[in-house]
Structure 1
Amino acid sequence: MGQKVNPHGLRIGIIKSWDTQWYADKKTFATYLSEDNKIRKELKKKYFNAAVSKIIIERAANTITVNMFCGRPGVAIGKEAAGISEIKKAVEKIAVGKVVNINVLEVKKVDIDAQLAAESIAASLEKRIQFRRAMRQVMGRAMKGGAKGVKTMVSGRLDGAEIARSEHYSEGSIPLQTLRANIDYGFAQATTT
């Protein structure tokens, strides 16, 4: 039986690039990696309303450049760019003694972005909207937005059932075997009661 592989990881070096763009030796690699993880967690949590799709971190010498791709960049930037200085402070707290540059970039097609779609389904589940309806709405928006194909999957105790299960819907073409196919992948977890 075929194994499930993350579409991003499989396509790195072919059509996708890394979310972290830096090089480190053995001594500093672990600290850089943990810093990046903390930066991502903090910014995702703090700017949840800005619909953060992905965060690309670049390092060179003593500088860190953080590129935030947001569905609603106006929420992250704030009035008179006050939000950028807040982001800078949050990153400087984690990466002490480094020069920090922040770029807030807009996601052009919000409906097609897989991560934002996954977070939308998770938010719907937390609001107790029926999972089938939430999945179909997201899929419909993505197909109208210009996606060639969409596949969504929800797993867990659906509708509060005793036994956990997985349900998935797909529409259009999703060529997972073709490595040059630009397939976006998103994952989100919903904390339900």
Structure 2
Amino acid sequence: MGHKVHPKLFRIGVTNTWPSRWFARGDAYRKQLQQDLAIRSFIQRRLKEGAISNVTIERSRGVIAIAIHTGKPGLVIGRSAQSIDELRKEIAQNFFRGKKVTLRVDVVEVPKANLDARIVARQVATDLERRLPFRRVLKQTVERVKKSGGLGVKVAVAGRLNGAEIARREWLGWGKIPLTSLRADIDFAQDAAQTMAGTIGVKVWIYRGDVFEQDRLSMYQPTTPTRGPRGRMGGGRMGGGRGSESGLSSAGA
């Protein structure tokens, strides 16, 4: 039996970070985690055409900050910020009714949408729902990723492709996808297309290059000073080691 590891979860703390950042214990942890999952599902349904890449949630005392990463910020914000204001009111009414919290909803633009696996997977699913031939969809998707600067891409679809009687799995790839290298920046996502013949699953892997130690984001670097070599007087920094890489405890969905 094969042992498969999620490419993004495998690299949390190395090239990826947690989608939820807060600290809680016991029942509060379970309730807040379930609430985060419900909020993400609500936003994905509410903004289905908004090319949503990721939704990050940060909690502090009385403040909840939700950041929506999207490839179409204009569509999400709306004219005169009307759409984002309505979304904020709906989230407050559905999830925080009667609670004294400050809810902040921000919109972050994804710089290269064609290098984001979730946005690409959603586009593939949309094309399949429009009854486009799956082979053409796979080729066009690979070409878009190549032109955007990706170093490798793999797109897999499974189901009753083109309305066939028997379900099967087909995939198309280009470049390299080093799944066993921790420093490789691999973006992975899966989606589903609801067609007349049934559900077709979509999986996308995109390789965006290596992330070396000196290139990591500041959130992955130690926040406390470290002790220098023994016997050296002065100039050394004191503190913990790898265990103190993050000064903020995190919880992921």
Please give the range of the TM-score, normalised by the shorter of the 2 chains: over 0.9
> Which secondary structure does the structure 2 equivalent of 1:105 belong to?
strand
Shift of 1:118: 0.4
Q: Is the 8 A contact 1:122 1:188 kept in 2?
A: yes
Q: Which amino acid aligns with 1:58?
A: E
Question: Does residue 1:58 correspond to 2:58, yes or no?
Answer: yes
> Which secondary structure does the structure 2 equivalent of 1:125 belong to?
helix
Q: TM-score, normalised by structure 2?
A: 0.74
Match of 1:19 in 2: 19
Match of 1:91 in 2: 91
Give the one of 129, 133, 136 matched to 1:130.
Answer: 133
Q: Which amino acid aligns with 1:189?
A: A
Which consecutive unaligned segments of at least 5 residues does structure 1 have? none
Match of 2:174 in 1: 171
**Which has the greater radius of gyration?**
2
1:43-102 Cα distance to aligned partner (Å, 9 max, x none) = 111112221111001111221100000111001111111122112112212133221111
Equivalent pairs: percent with the same residue? 38
Q: Which amino acid aligns with 1:157?
A: R
* Alignment partners' CA distance in 2, 1:24 and 1:190: 36
1:84-123 Cα distance to aligned partner (Å, 9 max, x none) = 2112112212133221111101000011111011001100
Match of 1:73 in 2: 73
Shift of 1:2: 4.4
> Which secondary structure does the structure 1 equivalent of 2:186 belong to?
coil
Which consecutive unaligned segments of at least 5 residues does structure 2 have? 197-253
Q: Which amino acid aligns with 2:32?
A: Y
- Which structure 2 residues correspond to residues 17-56 of structure 1 after superposition, within 5 A? 17-56=17-56
* Alignment partners' CA distance in 1, 2:4 and 2:130: 30
Question: Does residue 1:119 correspond to 2:139, yes or no?
Answer: no
Q: Which amino acid aligns with 1:163?
A: I
Q: Is the 8 A contact 1:35 1:95 kept in 2?
A: no
Shift of 1:143: 0.6
* Alignment partners' CA distance in 1, 2:22 and 2:88: 19
Q: TM-score, normalised by structure 1?
A: 0.96
* Alignment partners' CA distance in 2, 1:151 and 1:163: 23
> Which secondary structure does the structure 2 equivalent of 1:169 belong to?
strand
Q: Which amino acid aligns with 1:36?
A: D
* Alignment partners' CA distance in 1, 2:190 and 2:96: 27
Q: Which amino acid aligns with 2:150?
A: A
Match of 1:103 in 2: 106
> Which secondary structure does the structure 1 equivalent of 2:64 belong to?
strand
Tell me how many residue pairs correspond in the alignment: 193
The ranges of structure 1 where at least 4 consecutive aligned residues each deviate by more than 3 angstroms after the TM superposition are none
More helix, by proportion: 1
Give the one of 186, 190, 193 matched to 1:187.
Answer: 190
Q: Is the 8 A contact 1:121 1:138 kept in 2?
A: yes
Q: Which amino acid aligns with 1:41?
A: S
Shift of 1:185: 0.6
